[in-house]
Amino acid sequence: MLLRSLRPQISRVTGARALQSQGSGREFKVVEVGPRDGLQNEKNFVPTEQKIELINRLGQSGLKVVECASYVSPKWVPQMKDNDVVINGIDRLPGVSYPVLVPNMTGMKNVLKNKNVEEIAVFAAASEGFSKKNTNCSIEKSLQRLGEVASEALKHGLRVRGYTSVVIACPYDGRTDPAKVAALCEALLSMGCYEVSLGDTIGVGSAASVAKMLDEVLRVAPAEKFAVHFHDTYGQALANVLVSVEKGIRVADSSVAGLGGCPYAKGATGNLASEDLVYMLHDMGFDTGIDLETLVETGEWICENMGRANVSRCSNALLTKKAKTK
Ligand code: HMG
Ligand code: MG
């Protein structure tokens, strides 16, 4: 049956004026996915203490949501095998949520053994090819599994967020029909997800394709029910957020220093860098509660520790400026 349903204001940050749109005012929620989406694809194991410190620093920057781990199979994603130690090691700041990804009831049972988890995220794909590669099952089967996971989580008082992946295109099946994305979002919302994040997993979408997808998705629920999650492979992520803001969306996922990639989507780069997103949002007059400088320092810190390049344009510009003024 599920398969059938899949057929087809002003603030003084820089003096700039906030975009006037149909959204709910000046607040904008940034969901930091660096410790999960950002690290899951790293070949070398990132030491647990480093993961913990990253999450703590991100929390201190003022972020309200920091996705910190996955309860997926360690054979599939070895980088996330220290999930429990990470969750139990972090400083939980009041008002900050620390969700973890859960694909099935095995993961859910493990989550329930850890009293420190208060929020989970379930994920499904809008294409059969990605569903199979990422979770080893069809879309229909994954929705069945996630329905059970969501109901168990809600029964235990956990909040449940949803992800729809490959909303623009799939690395295996090609372009995604926006109607399929909308149907999947509807299924996730009806399971009790408080919000569904729309993932352009391989970062191929641009303004026109994203607008078309959003128009379809916003038929099934209002903008308050959605977040956007753009990987920045083609450098279109900020433009895509802007289109989403114009449609009324006020939540976006991003990753500090642009870390990341998906192990089951070859060639896809990291998420939109959190620093670049926050810089734009502040310039538009949105209130994120985030201190950009702390975020920039955190991005630089983790890149230095991991020995990788910081791909945030904003970070690089601010750090160069700072070095010149020394
Ligand atoms: P499977 O191999 O079909 O699982 O994997 P299974 O049920 O047949 O079990 C096989 C073995 O795995 C068993 O152990 C299970 O106990 C164990 P054995 O008896 O052989 O010793 N197992 C588990 N262990 C720990 N935790 C679990 C778990 N489940 C089974 N939860 C499965 C199916 C879904 C588990 C696997 O495909 C998987 O882990 N996939 C996750 C892949 C992943 O994490 N991808 C990246 C995240 S999604 C993403 O990045 C997209 C997103 O960012 C949005 C966007 O960008 O679009 C969210
Ligand atoms: Mg992702």
Dist. CA 69–CA 40, nearest whole Å: 9
Is 232 within 8 Å of 272 (Cβ atoms)? yes
Residue ranges lining ligand 1, Cβ < 6 Å: 37, 40, 70-73, 76-77, 101, 103-104, 106-107, 110, 123, 134-136, 163, 165, 199, 201, 229, 231, 262-264
137, 262, 303, 314: which one is catalytic? 262
Backbone φ and ψ for 188, nearest 5 degrees, come out as: -65, -40
Paired tokens of 301:
């810190």
Strands 169-170 and 174-175: antiparallel
pLDDT exceeds 80 at position 319: yes
Q: Which residues pair with 305 in a beta bridge?
A: none
- pLDDT confidence of 261, banded at 50, 70, 90? low
> What pTM did the predictor assign?
0.93
173-222 pLDDT, tens digit each: 999 999 999 999 999 999 999 999 999 999 999 999 999 999 999 999 99
Please confirm, yes or no, whether 262 is among the known catalytic residues.
yes
Closest ligand 1 atom to 125 CA: 57
